[in-house]
Amino acid sequence: MKIYTKTGDKGETSLFDGTRVKKSSNRIESYGSVDEINSHIGMLLSLMSSKSNLSDVVEDLFIIQNQLFTLGSDLANPRQNLDNYPRITEREVTFLENCMDKFDKELKPLKAFILPGGTVEASQCHVIRTVTRRSEIKAVDIYLNNEISKECFVYINRLSDLFFILARVCNRRQGQEDIMWKK
């Protein structure tokens, strides 16, 4: 099978149900951003591979990478009533919330805004957080038009929150203070 099909050469692509849409549609941009998030997580995992004090984070990130494939599938499928396609459910949202609760316990409460940065791993978490916010912005219209599930949209929102927490965890575990914003 060739990697190129030439079906997108006129600025359109197909969704799971065969519907043709512009490549610039919010749906396509949203799941394109999810693919970008997954790639950035792959880079983060490469950076974390030699850090034993981040092994629990690595385990959770592998799970999240798999969930992101489900999220991409969900975003690419406009027909919400098809049961045979993978979907983001409350279970995946709860997984992210449990991760946030687990990691947040080791952090001091914030008294000011922090700047993205610190360790390389923390900086990469901030990149992932911002790309996730962009994906959420692209998904909001399709969510408000009832074209994706609430769980799908909430998952994206929780994911960016998790990466904010993970950035702080990476800094703390590597002895780096968060960088406080100075007014």
**Is 1 inside a domain boundary?**
no
Predicted confidence (pLDDT) per residue in 42-68, tens digit: 999 999 988 889 999 999 999 999 999
Predicted confidence (pLDDT) per residue in 83-119, tens digit: 677 789 999 999 999 999 999 999 999 989 999 999 9
Q: Which residues contact 9 (CB under 8 A, 6 or more apart)?
A: none
**Is 115 inside a domain boundary?**
yes
Q: What pLDDT is stored for residue 98 in this prediction?
A: 98
Contact (Cβ atoms closer than 8 angstroms) between residue 118 and residue 170: yes
**Is 2 inside a domain boundary?**
no
Could you tell me the pTM of the whole model?
Answer: 0.90
Q: Which residues contact 130 (CB under 8 A, 6 or more apart)?
A: 116, 160
Instruction: Identify the CATH number of the domain in which residue 30 sits.
Output: 1.20.1200.10
Structural domain containing residue 21: 12-180
- When divided into structural domains, the chain yields a total of 1
